[in-house]
Each structure stands twice: as C-alpha cells, then as structure tokens.
Structure 1
Amino acid sequence: MAYVVTAPCDGCKYTDCITVCPCDCFREGDRMLYIDPDECIDCDACRSECPVEAIFPENEVPAEWNHYIQLNADKAAGRPPITEKKPPLAEG
C-alpha cells in the first residue's frame, strides 16, 4: 500500500511533504504533486506535513477521490523525484 496525493493539492502544490520523505517518492506535475507507489515505503511522514490535508494512505482515500490512486501511479511514472522545497502555486 502507498500513500496518495489527492484533490486538495491540485492548484496549490505545497512541497512541505517532500522535505520529510525518506525515500524521495514525490514527483512534480504542473498543478500538483504525485507519489510513486513503487517508491513509497508507507512511513506516514508526509501526511502530517501537508498543509491542505491532501495525502492519504491508499486504503483511506475518500471514495470521491479514488481515481487519484491510479492518477498518482500514472503521473509519477517516468518523472524524476522532487527533493527540494519550492514555493506553492499562486492559487494555493
């Protein structure tokens, strides 16, 4: 099981979570971050760092956001890890 970035991240892209990730499993998209499920070690470090509460364990993702499980896997594939904190998007 991996952690999943969901809807509240879309448009804000805070990177507080990446600073505590011990395995560099976060990937950066244009409008949000994604977690590579193959790299995530389920440590729970990122969840409490997210200021918009967008990160959930896969089995706790709210039903209306279940499609983010596959979206994270798809969007993370082939992208390099994001390992340095960046400013959030303007709409965040």
Structure 2
Amino acid sequence: MTKLEQLNAEQKKWMEKKVTGSASAIARHHKIAQSQKEIDYYELGDTISRAAIQVKLAEIGEIQGEIKRLTAVVEEKRRTLITHVFGEQTII
C-alpha cells in the first residue's frame, strides 16, 4: 500500500467514525483536515518535483537580490539628485 493509499484509507476511516460529542467532532475535523493536507501534498508531489521547486526558489532568491541592489541604486541616485538640486544641508 502506497503512502497516498494509506492517507486515503485513514481519511475514510476518520470520516466514517461516529461523533459522540463536540470534542470528538473537533478532533475528527482536525484529523480529516490534516489528512487532506497530506493527501494534497503527495498528489502535488507527483506533478512538481522537489528539484523544480528548488530551482524556482533559487530564481526567487536571485530576483530578490537584484531588487535589493536596484533599490540601493535608486536610493543613491535620489540622494545625489537632492544634493545636486538643494545642496548638502538637505540630505534626508
């Protein structure tokens, strides 16, 4: 039995379980929600590989670094412009 089949069986078991009170209803709800999250994770894992996710995360990191660099360039140019237009005393 694969992990996905186990999770589906576990979720089915929790859905069929009889509720005896509010505490057991809450516990049942949490177990079903947790098993659904795990099922979704394993189903998604079939379509998107971890390597592809790591590549995309690396690209995001590079883009964030470029954003920081460009923000610093813009800030420096802003300071230079303010200094040029208003003089040394107006640097913010």
TM-score, scaled to structure 1: 0.24
Identify, as 1 or 2, the structure richer in helix.
2
Identify, as 1 or 2, the structure richer in strand.
1
Determine which structure has greater relative contact order: mean sequence separation of CA pairs < 8 Å that are 6+ residues apart, divided by chain length: 1
State which structure, 1 or 2, has the greater radius of gyration over its C-alpha atoms. 2
